[in-house]
Structure 1
Amino acid sequence: MNYTLHQLHIFLKIAELKSITKASEALHLTQPAVSIQLKNFQDQFQISLTEVVGRQLYITDFGMEIAHAAEKILNQVHAINYKTLAYKGQLSGRLKLSVVSTGKYVMPYFLSDFMKQNEGIDLFMDVTNKSRVIESLEMNEVDFALVSVLPKKLKFHKVELMQNKLYFIASSGLKLKQNLTKKNLFEKFPLIYREQGSATRNAMETFITKNGFSVTKKIELTSNEAVKQAVLAGLGCSVMPLIGIRNELKNKELQIVPVKGLPINTIWHLIWLKSKNLSPVALAYLDFLNSEKATIINQKFAWGEDFYLK
C-alpha cells in the first residue's frame, strides 16, 4: 500500500461528515479534488470503504475501521511534531475552537498575536451555527466555544471578551421619511432574518414581540454575510451586529437607522466545560487572553465607538 497522510486526512473527514461536498468545504478543497483522493485511497483496498444508497454516502463497517486507524495514525503524527517542538522548548499542540458565524469578525483578532508568539501550535477553528457550536462543546470536540448567548443546560467556565451590539440596518439607498415611527419601520419594509436558532434572530424576534410589531414580509437567510448582502441589494432591512458591517458603514453603503430600544446589547463569551481537562496550550491561551484582552479591544475594536448611537 502507498497511501499518503493527505489521503488519510481526507478520508477521515469524509467519514466524519458522511459527505464529499461537506468534506471539501471543511478542508477548503474542491469537490473533484476530494473525490479523486478518495478514489486513489479506495483503489488500495479490495473491500469497499464507502457505498452510495440513493444519493446518500455511507461509510461501510470496513471503512469505519480504516477511519479509526487513520485517526490514530494522524494523532501519532501530530504527537511526533509536538514532541519535537517541546524538546526544543516551544509550546506545541492543537488549539480547537468552535465559533458562531458572526464570531468570525471577532475571534481572529484574539488569536493572531498568540499564534505568532507560538509557532508550534496548530489552530482549528470551526465557524458554524449556534446549535453546532454547543454540540461540539458538549461532545468535547473543542477546547473553547465563542457565543453571544450562554447555553442554559451546560456547566461551563467563561471569559468575557467584548460587547456585541445589534442595530437596525438598511441600505444607504433606502430613503426613510423623518417622521417614520418605529412600528412603521418594522411593518412597512421586508425584514431579513437569520435562520432558526441563531442568537441574532432570537434577539430580533424578542425585540419585535416585546414591542407588539407584526412583520408583513420575512426573508430568511442562513448566514450573517448573506443577510448583509441582501440588505445591500435592497431586499429589505435587518437587525445586525455592528461588528460585521464596519466597511459597509465606512463606505456609506449601509446606514444605521436610529430606533428607540436599540441597540440590543449582548456579550461575546469564550466558554469551556467545567469538566474539561484543558491542555497546556489551552491554559496558555487563557493566560494570554487575561493579559492582552483589553489591549486587543482598544487597538482593534475602538472604531465601533464612532457608530454607537445613544
Structure 2
Amino acid sequence: MNISFTQLRALQAINEHDSITKAAKMLNMTQPAVSMQLKNLQDQFDVPLTEIIGKKIHITEFGQEIVEMSDRIFAEMDQIEQRMLELKGLLAGKIRISAVSTGKYIIPYLVADFLKINPHVEFSLEVSNRYKVLSHLQENSTDLALVSLSPEDLDLEHIVLSENHWHLASSPENAAKYQDLIERGAWDKIPFILREKGSGTRVMMEKFFKEKDIHIQSKMELATNEAVKQAVMAGLGISLLSNFSMSKEVKDGRIKLLQLEGLPLTADWKLIWLKQKKHPPAVKAFIRWIAENKEKVFKDHFEEF
C-alpha cells in the first residue's frame, strides 16, 4: 500500500462536508486535485470508500472506518510534534475554549498573556450563548468553557476568575426619564432590550424581576451583548449588562447606570471543564497558568466602575 497523508486528509474533509467542492475549499486545494487524491486512495482498496446518493457524495461504512483510523493517525502525529517541542522546552498543542457572549471581552487577554510565554500553543475560541457553550462542553467539542452561571447537573471542576456584575443600563439622554419611571413603578412604560432565550444574562434578568414581582415589557430580543449594548446607547430601551461589556462606555458617559434595589446582580466568572476530561499538556498548562495569574490579568486589563 502507498497511502499518503494528503489522501487521508481528503477523505476526512469529504466526510465532514459530504461535498468534494467544500472539501477542496477546506483544504485549500482545487476540486480536481481532491478528486484525484480520493481516486488514488480508492485504488488501493477493493471495497468502496464513497457512494453517491441524491447527487451528494457520502462515506461508506468501510470509508468511515478509514476516516476514524485517519483521525487516530493525525492525533498521534500531533502528539509526536507536541512531544518534540516539549523536549525542546517549547509547549505546544491546541486549546479549545467556548465562552458566553460577554466572555469575549475577557478571553483575549487571558490568551494573549499566556501566548507571550507559550507562542507555539494554538487556540480555538467560540463565542455563543450559555446553552450552546454547555452543549459543546458535554459533547466534548471544547476543552474549557467560560461562564458566569455554571450548571448544577454536570460533574465539573472550575477556577473562579473574578466577579461579574450586572447593572441596569440606559442611554444618557433617557436615563433621567427611565429612573423616574422606575421609582414610580411604571414598568409598563419602560422598553426592555433582552438577550435571546438560552443566554445566561436573560436567565439572570428574568429570575431577578420575577422575584421582585415586576413584569417588564420586551421591546426586542438580540443575540449578543454587544448588540444589546448598541441598542441601549441608541436609546431604544434599557437592559441588564455586565460591567465587563460596558466599562469604557460608562466611563466616557455613553451609558448611564440606573438605580434599583437589589442591583447590581453578582456572580463569579468561572473557567469550567468536565471532571472526567483527560486534558493534553497544553490545556493542563493553561489551567495551571490561569490559576496562578488570574489576579494579575484582571488587575492589568480591567477596571471596575
Q: TM-score range by the shorter chain?
A: 0.7 to 0.9
2:12 touches 2:67 (CA, 8 Å); kept in 1?
Answer: no
The Cα RMSD (Å) is 3.6
TM-superposed deviation, 1:243: 0.4
Partner of 2:194: 193
Partner of 1:11: 13
TM-superposed deviation, 1:179: 3.6
**Could you say what secondary structure the match of 2:217 adopts?**
coil
Q: Which one-letter code corresponds to 2:284 in the other structure?
A: L
How many Å separate the matches in 1 of 2:148 and 2:158?
11
Q: Which one-letter code corresponds to 1:161 in the other structure?
A: L
**Could you say what secondary structure the match of 2:165 adopts?**
strand
Q: Which one-letter code corresponds to 1:225 in the other structure?
A: E
Partner of 1:233: 234
Q: Which one-letter code corresponds to 2:13 in the other structure?
A: F
The superposition leaves residues 86-132 of structure 1 with CA deviations (integer Å, 9 ceiling, x where unpaired) of 23122222222221121111122222222211122122222222122
How many Å separate the matches in 1 of 2:160 and 2:270?
5
Alignment CA distance shift 1:117-1:221 (3 Å): same
Partner of 1:168: 168
**Could you say what secondary structure the match of 1:43 adopts?**
helix
The superposition leaves residues 43-99 of structure 1 with CA deviations (integer Å, 9 ceiling, x where unpaired) of 33468688778xxx8855478567546644643553343233123122222222221
Q: Which one-letter code corresponds to 2:253 in the other structure?
A: K
The superposition leaves residues 190-226 of structure 1 with CA deviations (integer Å, 9 ceiling, x where unpaired) of 1111111111001001111112222233311111111
1:10 touches 1:37 (CA, 8 Å); kept in 2?
Answer: no
| Sequence identity (%) | 31
Partner of 2:181: 180
**Count of paired positions:** 290
Alignment CA distance shift 1:215-1:86 (3 Å): same
TM-score of the two chains, using structure 1 as the length reference = 0.78
**Could you say what secondary structure the match of 2:232 adopts?**
helix
The superposition leaves residues 258-287 of structure 1 with CA deviations (integer Å, 9 ceiling, x where unpaired) of 222111101111112221223222222222
Q: Which one-letter code corresponds to 1:131 in the other structure?
A: Y
Partner of 2:292: 291
Alignment CA distance shift 1:179-1:220 (3 Å): closer
Q: Which one-letter code corresponds to 1:231 in the other structure?
A: V
What aligned pairs does 1:81-100 form with structure 2 within 5 A after superposition? 81-100=81-100
Larger Rg computed on CA atoms: 2
Q: Which one-letter code corresponds to 2:94 in the other structure?
A: R
How many Å separate the matches in 2 of 1:13 and 1:33?
14
Partner of 1:264: 265
How many Å separate the matches in 1 of 2:123 and 2:11?
16
Partner of 2:217: 216
Moved more, 289-298 or 77-86: 77-86
What aligned pairs does 1:1-310 form with structure 2 within 5 A after superposition? 11=13, 14-15=16-17, 39=31, 42-44=34-36, 45=38, 60-61=59-60, 68=68, 71-72=71-72, 74-177=74-177, 179-182=180-183, 184=185, 186-301=187-302, 303-304=303-304, 307=305
How many Å separate the matches in 2 of 1:300 and 1:19?
44
**Could you say what secondary structure the match of 2:220 adopts?**
strand
**Could you say what secondary structure the match of 1:181 adopts?**
helix
Q: Which one-letter code corresponds to 1:115 in the other structure?
A: L
How many Å separate the matches in 2 of 1:34 and 1:292?
37
TM-score of the two chains, using structure 2 as the length reference = 0.79
Q: Which one-letter code corresponds to 2:234 in the other structure?
A: A
1:3 touches 1:41 (CA, 8 Å); kept in 2?
Answer: no
Alignment CA distance shift 1:36-1:112 (3 Å): closer
How many Å separate the matches in 1 of 2:169 and 2:212?
18
Alignment CA distance shift 1:189-1:290 (3 Å): same
Alignment CA distance shift 1:212-1:275 (3 Å): same
- Structure 2 spans left out of the alignment, 5+ residues: 40-48
Q: Which one-letter code corresponds to 1:254 in the other structure?
A: I
2:181 touches 2:187 (CA, 8 Å); kept in 1?
Answer: no
Moved more, 57-66 or 101-110: 57-66
The superposition leaves residues 232-260 of structure 1 with CA deviations (integer Å, 9 ceiling, x where unpaired) of 22222111111011232233222111222
How many Å separate the matches in 2 of 1:48 and 1:246?
54
How many Å separate the matches in 2 of 1:111 and 1:175?
36
1:130 touches 1:198 (CA, 8 Å); kept in 2?
Answer: yes
Alignment CA distance shift 1:255-1:33 (3 Å): farther
